[in-house]
């Protein structure tokens, strides 16, 4: 083989190797770029300064159902204030309350202990005002003079159903721990906590106020909610909100 032929042959081999290496390097770069695009697409975004949120589980609240919307605003790196308003209505008719209606207002101050891209954790102090009124079919009764006064549970010799009206107001102060999970322009807010509440309940429309009211053998949340008078109690707030941030 002549010298210039050898040179040409070696040049073609080197050119082919260079093209192969360049294509391989380009393929790796393209794969890395595609992976980066997917990672950025899936990576949650940071929290933004304003959030509008809705509480889907408020509709299914077993005692105080309704529709709740909230607005949260950051005014510092680790501080925000949230105001929520609720229209209290048993939309899915899960409670024994009749024509349940009312309003709910809560103001919540949050301190964020962590505010990252993937999640944020915070401690919150919340004040709640709830006002509702509704009707309820209660069971009343009395003992007859000819029957031995032995009650089974809290039932009487003669029992009957009577509808009465309930007017209820509740003030609550709660301490809560929460998580916010951002994903682009959307937000998931989960909270749980413990607090105290003061209930003011009045009843009207009872046909025979002197008759006794029959109670369930076991604890009943609806009977507790209808208990007349001013009482203190424990509040256990749990909520999940979804919303849009901007």
Q: What is the pLDDT of residue 19?
A: 58
pLDDT, tens only, 23-42:
555 555 565 665 555 554 44
Q: What is the pLDDT of residue 60?
A: 94
- Residue 185 burial (CB count, 10 A): 11
Q: Give the ranges where 137-242 is alpha helix by DSSP (H).
A: 221-226
What is the C-alpha to C-alpha distance for residues 150 and 160, in angstroms, rounded to an integer? Answer: 18
**How many H helices and E strands in the chain?**
2, 10
How do the residues of the chain divide into helix, strand and coil, expressed in percent and rounded to 5?
Answer: 20, 50, 25
Q: What is the pLDDT of residue 17?
A: 60
Question: With helix as H, strand as E and coil as C, how does the chain read?
Answer: CCHHHHHHHHHHHHHHHHHHHHHHHHHHHHHHHHHHHHHHHHCCCCCCCEEEEECHHHHHCCCCCEEEEEEEEECCCCEEEEEEEEEEECCCCCCCCEEEEEEEEEEEEEEEEEECCCCEEEEEEEEEEEEEEEEEEEEEEECCCCCCCCCCCCCCCEEEEEEEEEEEEEEEEEEEEEEEEEECCEEEEEEEEEEEEEEEEEEECCCCCCCEECCCCCCCHHHHHHCCEEEEEEECCEEEEEEEEC
User: Is residue 93 a contact partner of residue 130, using CB atoms and an 8 Å limit?
Assistant: no
Average pLDDT, the chain: 84
Residues of the chain under the 50 pLDDT cut: 40-44, 146-153
Strands 186-204 and 158-183: antiparallel
Q: What is the pLDDT of residue 16?
A: 61
């Amino acid at each position: 083989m002549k010298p210039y032929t050898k040179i040409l042959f070696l040049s073609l081999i080197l050119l082919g190797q260079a093209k192969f290496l360049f294509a391989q390097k380009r393929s790796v770069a393209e794969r890395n770029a595609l992976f980066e695009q997917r990672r950025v697409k899936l990576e949650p975004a940071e929290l933004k300064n304003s959030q509008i949120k809705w509480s889907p589980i408020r509709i299914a609240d077993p005692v105080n159902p309704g529709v709740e919307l909230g607005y949260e605003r950051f005014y510092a790196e680790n501080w925000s204030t949230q105001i929520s308003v609720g229209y209290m209505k048993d939309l899915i008719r899960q409670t024994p309350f009749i024509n349940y209606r009312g309003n709910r207002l809560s103001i919540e101050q949050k301190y964020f202990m962590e505010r990252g891209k993937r999640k944020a954790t915070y401690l919150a102090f919340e004040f709640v005002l709830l006002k509702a009124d509704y009707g309820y079919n209660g069971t009343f009764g009395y003992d007859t003079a000819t029957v031995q006064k032995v009650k089974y549970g809290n039932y009487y010799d003669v029992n009957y159903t009577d509808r009465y009206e309930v007017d209820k107001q509740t003030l609550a102060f709660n301490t809560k721990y929460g998580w916010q999970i951002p994903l682009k322009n959307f937000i998931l807010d989960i909270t749980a906590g413990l607090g105290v509440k003061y209930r003011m309940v009045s009843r009207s429309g009872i046909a025979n106020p002197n008759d006794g009211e029959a109670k369930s053998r076991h604890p009943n949340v609806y009977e507790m909610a209808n208990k007349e008078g001013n009482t203190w109690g424990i509040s256990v707030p749990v909520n999940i909100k979804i919303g849009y941030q901007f």
